[in-house]
Structure 1
Amino acid sequence: MSTQLPSPGPRPEHPVPPGAETAPPPPDPSPLPVGTRIGWEEVEGVLGSGGFATVYRVRSPDGYVSALKLLPLDQGDERAARAWREVSLGMRLRHRNLVRQLGAGQWPHDNPRYVWVKLELVEGPTLEEWAPGRSLGEVMERVLEVARALAVSHEAGVMHRDVKEANILVRRKTGEAVLVDLGVAWHPACPTLTKGLFPPGTLPYRAPEAWAYGRAHAGEPGAHYRAGPGDDLYALGVVLYRSLTGRFPFLPAEHGGEDVEAVLHREPLPPHLVNPRVPLAVEAVCLRLLAKTPEARYPGAVALCAALEELRARTDVDWTQVPRPGPRPRSKPWGRWGRVVAAVGVGLAVALGAWWLGSRQEVAPGGHAPEPVRAVVAPPAEAPRKDSARMTQQPQTTPGAPPETAPKRRKAAVRTACLGLTGAALQACLGASQQVPPERSAPPPQACPTGAVETMTATLGLRMGEFFSVEWSDVRGRPVRVHEDASLRVAGDWETNRNRWGAGDKVALPDETWLFGRLYVKQGRVYGRFTEARTPLGVVYPVCMDMLDSSNNVGLELKPGSGPGKMMVAPVVQVRVVDRFP
């Protein structure tokens, strides 16, 4: 006999005190002002916002601070049903590694337009932010805690369906992992809300059996994949693989998007080959979670917990080692800059002396530096004629000397002089002759591609001026090398109407979409103009977006290690929706 869930309808959990609502709900999705009362709670600020829900930091009269999720009821029956489903599923679950639901109701009391869900406020970083620099024992303890949360959830018949690092918070006070966001969770007694083959989720965490079902039933009316415990365990395997190696088990396909063939038919590269610090005993657990069928994985989350606890008791594994080192601790400012200044001073002095000696031996004025290989610069407005380019780039040399002899000898003199130095001075000396890629004039202001503005606003639901996080690499903590036509990957769903709290059924640009455009260098910064978006299913949209750094400044700072044809930038950047390139 199946368990029946409470039917959706007006049912506030607590009576609303008279006069508690000091402001009516806004007519649009704008955040509520600080001081608004929702039931007993007073709004202190916004924690997260999207088209489907807004999450506020709220405080009760006794000073208790919590998170309050506000879900609209006036955006269709499906949205209302999903809101009440989240409420009913949250009431079933109680565990220290699952976010606690503290109450629910409707607001305003007289004319309800929202469902509110009061949740425990978990303060701390996501697992992805927390993991680098942590010991192997700490990482495995967090995975064990998530497995315990899944065991409790599955025992209650609730499938999370969106297990990923962003939905695992590490509580700052205790260091424990907490699985959050039941926005797309499901119970066998729940009606099907999603139209289409797959439930909401994040593509790189989707299990092989789900992809296989999609291929077998593509185009079949009414076909819909039902996620089970094995799907959550596979997703946790992806989380563990990333925590150990810093990358996904399977690389993107050649033209972007998820490599479904690899997920279905190839084994992931063993973690210890990606990161030699990963012990084989830990690798075995990870690879079993990533097995191609649910039957080949653990029988359930309870069995996984037992395996992880048995693994934790082994004494032949060094649990204190750090699989993925975090950022280096900062040196003392004065000491660090003093060493840099001294090294640069010595290096420049020696390099200049070597150059002077070389110039006294052989003079070659008027020569141009060789063209860098694949420099990241804007394409010229009009390519020069070959014959004129050849005439203007002829270097002048001493009569009788072979071409390029003087530059070669000068470089050899610099290298010889540098060999007498060590450490930072040697690095500064050798770096004295390196330059960032040559700058060409920045491209003039430019109109967006035809139809791009209408596509972004009407079809994709994007707004002018808003910005989104994208990445060149999912490995954090070190710069990445890019070139002038390097594409950017959408690392998370851009949901229609800025719905970025939890996954939704309809997305503007789904996970693993790739943005294409051009990069150029100006005054030591890299600028980007992106004009095309390609989704994992091959849909191409014209777009108009420029590039921002983490501080919302236009362009990116060149990172150390940049040189001719070698542009080093941060792995994660932001792109901004614009209606014209300035």
Structure 2
Amino acid sequence: MTGTLIRLPSGAVVDGWHVVRELGNGGFAVVYLVEKDGQPHALKVARHREASGDDKQTHARMVREVTTLLMLDHPNIIRHRGYGYAEAGNMYLALEYVEGWTLAEWKERKHPTIHEILKVFVKLASALSYMHARGVLHRDLKLVNVLLRKSDGEPIIIDFGCATYTLAEDLTEEGLPPGTERFRAPEQFKFLREHRHEHRARYAFKVADEIFALGVMLYELLTDPRPTEHNPRRALNNPLVKPPSACQLNPRVPGLLSDLVEHMLSRDPDKRPVDTEALRRELEEHLDSSGAEYMMPAHAPSKQWQPEPSGVGKPMATPPGTPAPRKVSARALVAGAAVCVALAAAVAFWSAPGDAPAPLPGRSAPSRILPPDMSPSPPSPASAAAMSPAMDVGQKEGSPVKMPSPEVPPQASLPGMRKKASATDCAAMSLVAALAAGCPGSQIRAESFVCPAGAARAMEDHLHWETGDRFFLVLDDRHAKSSKVWFTAGAEVVGVVPKDNHDRRQRELAPVGTRFYGKAYYLKKGRFDGEPEMVVRYDRVKLPGQDEQPICFVVQVRSFGFKEGRVQANNYNAGGVVDRWP
């Protein structure tokens, strides 16, 4: 059964599950907080739309996830609570609701000792051993797919959207199974290189791949004091460059534990622990024989993010995952000077102590967004309404449980903070207000730019893209592929690779369902007979089943109409990988 996804409002009822609110959504599913018999649960509803790929495959993925969880019953694995179909025919999966932190958030907020981290990984290895004994492979182990329950500190493995099991139907259309690049074992990339000319070649995911992913997770907790931040990180799966040992980066890590992590990350899968039960025993031996060096936090708390009272001591650190403030050019400052005077009163009102900025007309109020593991900062809340409902809101697409981060006071409402209306503030606000009103004087031109931080490395090492590679995509996934769409200058757009793309290289490097995030621009005098030219710059990409990556990708097309800061252009075009916009 298939159907069009209907967003469930608060108060809706699905087979007795009362919807409280939406927790998050991705390319394949939307997750809601629901209640039944007075107890909270998570309801994952399959999404059926062109942007998520073939409807039948989307349904098959949900069936496989349900089947996988029906095979498992372990205290450290998310438990199912039922399944069925919503009124529109979309399959749903009910899950236990876990209130807690991701592993990365737990590390930063609780400053665990090395002994406490080891206890968690002993339980994870035990859960994986149980899972593997039943022929189940998770295939997307990473820090955001493990939650530490607040009530008892138990780790819970979540999100089985990429999982498979013995004799399961192969839903993978590409060489590698779904997963997150940073946590892939190096032999996966070796397979991709050796079979790049074999369209039907498929990598056989193994237990050794799960052990490598678990090793990456442990390595990051032991060596990175702020694992939730979106900083460039060393590629641990580079087949040519071996990463430094954990104790080299962090002297607090005991040498024997560092050696075990090194074995888990071995380039040769045969040198890793033979299976997850053997790994569990090794971790447990370290735990049982741990001395005083295991009883200190992996990093000094002063090196990790922690909230501080406002107005006391040094300025408060920016909470992990908070988008960096937008830069405002000198041109924007000049353009906004006149409007600044008119907006001064509004700025003063918005800056009142304890008050969050009021939303612009037609736009939703800002909301906090959980930081995804190893992803660029998400789009600003003000632009979220203009984007596809399939946009990621914190974790990998289809993640079954998403929790609001505790202990992080939003900076906009810190008590005692009264922001002054600076020229930069006024210029930025005038630009936003003018764009919202469609003011022709604030149309945004595609000026020269430098690629986002980490884009070159991500495109080369993780995406395997080369400068000059061209991919076809639907520029704005809210409209049909064949449409001529009016693009608003400066507005956020989400592009998607449609399901009927048959280019072989693109299917390998930017497969069906790949989502591109960027902004639309125009040039008043384009290269096409002097007609206005439309340009879309995409600075982030999300392949199906993977985390976002920073990129430099530009689409430049002829426009057919121009009025009030908007440009009309075909919605299906090819763009190119670049190192900068000329």
| Of 190, 193, 202, the match for 1:212 | 190
User: Against the structure 1 CA distance between its residues 467 and 238, is the aligned structure 2 distance closer, same or farther, given a 3 Å change threshold?
Assistant: farther
Greater Cα offset, 312-321 or 158-167: 312-321
Q: Which moved more, 1:119-128 or 1:30-39?
A: 30-39
For 1:90 and 1:37, how far apart are their aligned partners in 2? 23
CA deviations on 1:543-579 (whole Å, 9 max, x unpaired) are: 9xxxxxxxxxxxxxxxxxxxxxxxxxxxxxxxxxxxx
How far apart, in 2, do the equivalents of 1:47 and 1:322 lie?
Answer: 32
Secondary structure at the residue paired with 1:263?
coil
Find the aligned partners of 1:467 and 1:245 in 2 and give their Cα distance.
Answer: 36
Partner of residue 461 from structure 1, selected from 477, 481, 484: 477
**Structure 1 residue 456, shift from structure 2 partner:** 11
The equivalent of 1:475 in structure 2 is: none
Partner of 2:67: 88
Asked whether the equivalents of residues 129 and 277 of structure 2 are also in contact (C-alpha less than 8 Å), the reply is yes
SS class of match (1:237): helix
Deviations 1:497-537 (A, max 9, x none): 9xxxxxx9745458xx999x9xxxxxxxxxxxx94537789
Length-normalised TM-score, structure 2: 0.55
- Paired AA for residue 59 in structure 1: E
Whether 1:46 and 2:25 are equivalent positions in the alignment is no
1:125 match: secondary structure: strand
Distance 1:229 1:310 in 2: 21
CA offsets 1:381-426 (integer angstroms, 9 cap, x no match): 9xxxxxxxxxxxxxxxxxxxxxxxxxxxxxxxxxxxxxxxxxxxxx
Paired residue for 2:31, among 55, 65, 70? 55
Considering Cα pairs closer than 8 Å and 6+ residues apart, tell me whether 1 or 2 has the greater RCO.
2
Residue type matched to 1:38 in 2? Answer: V
Distance 2:119 2:147 in 1: 13
Whole-Å separation in 2 of the counterparts to 1:466 and 1:242? 36
Please state whether the residue corresponding to 1:264 is helix, strand or coil. coil
| 1:410 equivalent in structure 2 | none
Residue 115 of structure 1 and its aligned partner are, at CA, apart by: 0.9
Going from structure 1 to structure 2, the CA distance change for 1:223 and 1:448 (only over 3 Å counts) comes to farther
Residue 78 of structure 1 corresponds to: 57
> 2:277 aligns to what?
302
1:68 correspondence with 2:43: yes
Cα distance between partner residues in 2 of 1:378 and 1:180 = 43
The 10-residue stretch of structure 1 (27-36 or 47-56) with the greater mean CA deviation from structure 2? 27-36
CA drift of 1:155 comes to 0.8
CA 1:459–1:232: 2 relative to 1, 3 Å: farther
Aligned equivalents of 2:172, 2:44: Cα separation in 1: 21
**TM-superposed deviation, 1:145:** 1.7
- Structure 1 alignment gaps of length 5 or more: 1-9, 11-24, 341-375, 382-435, 469-492, 498-503, 518-529, 544-582
1:533 aligns with 2:539: yes
- Residue 540 of structure 1: CA displacement? 2.5
What is the SS of the residue equivalent to 1:182? Answer: coil
Measured in 2, the distance between the counterparts of 1:267 and 1:135 equals: 27
- Residue in structure 1 matched with residue 345 of structure 2 by the alignment: none
SS at match of 1:77: helix
Work out the percentage of aligned pairs sharing the same amino acid: 28
Asked if the contact 1:533/1:542 (under 8 Å) is kept, the reply is no
Summarize the Cα distance change of 1:147–1:506 in structure 2 as closer, same or farther, 3 Å threshold: farther
For the residues of structure 2 that align with 1:318 and 1:267, how far apart are their CA atoms?
Answer: 26
**Local SS of the residue matching 1:265:** coil
- Establish whether residue 447 from structure 1 lines up as the match of residue 423 from structure 2: no
> What pairs up with 1:371-410 in 2 under 5 angstroms?
378=329
Larger Rg belongs to = 1
The question of whether the paired residues in 2 share the 8 Å contact of 1:124 and 1:172 is answered with yes
Aligned AA (1:183) = G
How far is the alpha carbon of 1:542 from its aligned partner?
4.5
The answer to which of 234-243 and 65-74 deviates more is 65-74
Which residue is 2:249 aligned to? 274
Worse-matched range after superposition: 232-241 or 318-327: 318-327
Q: Tell me, yes or no, if structure 1 residue 106 matches structure 2 residue 85.
A: yes
1:110-134 alpha-carbon deviations (Å, 9 max, x no partner): xx61111111111101111111222
Partner of 1:36: 12
Post-superposition shift, 1:276?
A: 1.5
User: How far is the alpha carbon of 1:462 from its aligned partner?
Assistant: 7.5
Letter in 1 for 2:42: A
Q: Distance in 1 between matches of 2:5 and 2:222?
A: 40
Question: 1:352-374, CA deviations, whole angstroms, 9 ceiling, x for partnerless residues?
Answer: xxxxxxxxxxxxxxxxxxxxxxx
Residue 101 of structure 2 is aligned to residue 125 of structure 1 = yes
TM-score normalized by the length of structure 1:
0.55
C-alpha displacement of 1:239 = 0.5
Q: Residues of 2 paired with 1:116 and 1:538: CA distance?
A: 34
Query: Helix, strand or coil: the match of 1:197?
Result: coil
Is the partner of 2:209 in helix, strand or coil?
helix
Q: Is the 8 A contact 1:34 1:43 kept in 2?
A: yes
Letter matched to residue 13 of structure 2: R
Give secondary structure in 1 for the equivalent of 2:282.
helix
Structure 2: runs of 5 or more not aligned: 316-326, 333-421, 432-440, 450-470, 480-487, 499-509, 522-535, 542-548, 557-582
- What displacement does 1:228 show? 0.9
Verify the 8 A CA contact 1:272 1:283 in the aligned structure 2: yes
- Within-5 A mapping of 1:185-334: 185-246=163-224, 263-324=238-299, 325=301, 326-328=304-306, 330=308
The CA deviation at 1:224 is 1.1
CA drift of 1:445 comes to 3.5
Query: Contact 2:252–2:293 (CA<8 Å) still a contact in 1?
Result: no
Distance 1:263 1:94, change over 3 A: same
* Structure 1 outlier segments of 4+, above 6 Å: 441-444, 462-468, 493-497, 534-539
SS at match of 1:102: strand
Amino acid at match of 1:265: L
> Per-residue CA shift, 1:246-279, capped at 9, x if unaligned?
1899xx99xx99969x611222111122112111
For each residue in 1:296-319, what CA deviation from the matched residue of structure 2 results, as whole angstroms up to 9, or x when unmatched? 101111001000110001143522
CA distance 1:64–1:533, shift in 2 (3 Å) = closer
- The residue type equivalent to 1:94 in the other structure is D
Q: How many residues align?
A: 371
